[in-house]
């Protein structure tokens, strides 16, 4: 599992970690049943406070995205995330915002951006359907 913290970002660190874990699950990089690093291990790797990682893990457990097996570790849940469409849209919007800012700065048209998003969406869904066979 790879997580990158942007210290210059206005997004809180716990939110950066949470969004990246969500993205890795949604993209298939983290599969259901995959074991995540311990709170201590991830905190050390990211050079953040353990309470920050614990907050992320607890939040994702409340949403049924992760499950904590006491004494064994934290795993990607086998259940469906308990997220409303608004919450799911918010997660995606947060991930898209930096890409849209970059697209505007590079003076790409909205049509170009839509084409890029569609191509990436198609590639990910094709990859996921191959993996589920």
Three-state SS sequence of the chain: CCCCCCCCCCCCHHHHHHHHHHHHHHHCCCCCCCEECCHHHHHHHHCCCHHHHHHHHHHHHHCCCEEEECCCEEEECCCCCCCCHHHHHHHHHHHHHHHHHHHHHCCCCHHHHHHHHHHHHHHHHHHHHHHCC
Judge whether 124 lies within some domain.
yes
Residues 72 and 23 in one domain: yes
pLDDT attached to residue 27:
72
Domain of 122, in residue numbers = 85-131
Residues 38 and 71 in one domain: yes
Q: Please say which residue of 52, 76, 100 terminates a domain.
A: 76
Residues 19 and 52 in one domain: yes
Structural domains counted in the chain: 2
CA distance 114 to 112: 5
Residues 68 and 39 in one domain: yes
Going residue by residue through the chain (133 aa), what tens digit of pLDDT does each one get? 889 999 888 889 999 999 899 888 877 788 889 999 999 999 999 999 999 999 999 999 998 899 999 899 999 986 555 567 887 788 788 888 889 999 999 999 999 999 999 998 998 888 767 766 6
pLDDT attached to residue 22:
87
């Amino acid at each position: 599992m790879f997580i990158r913290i942007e210290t210059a970002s206005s997004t809180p660190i716990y939110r950066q970690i949470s969004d990246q874990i969500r993205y890795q699950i949604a993209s298939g990089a983290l599969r259901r049943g995959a074991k995540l690093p311990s709170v201590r291990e991830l905190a050390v790797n990211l050079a953040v406070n353990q309470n920050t990682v614990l907050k992320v893990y607890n939040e994702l457990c409340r949403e049924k995205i992760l499950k904590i097996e006491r004494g064994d570790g934290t795993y990607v849940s086998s259940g469906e995330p308990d997220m409303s469409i608004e919450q799911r849209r918010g997660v995606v919007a947060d991930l898209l915002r930096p890409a849209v800012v970059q697209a505007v700065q590079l003076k790409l048209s909205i049509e170009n951006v839509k084409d890029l998003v569609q191509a990436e969406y198609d590639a990910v869904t094709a990859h996921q359907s191959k993996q589920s066979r």
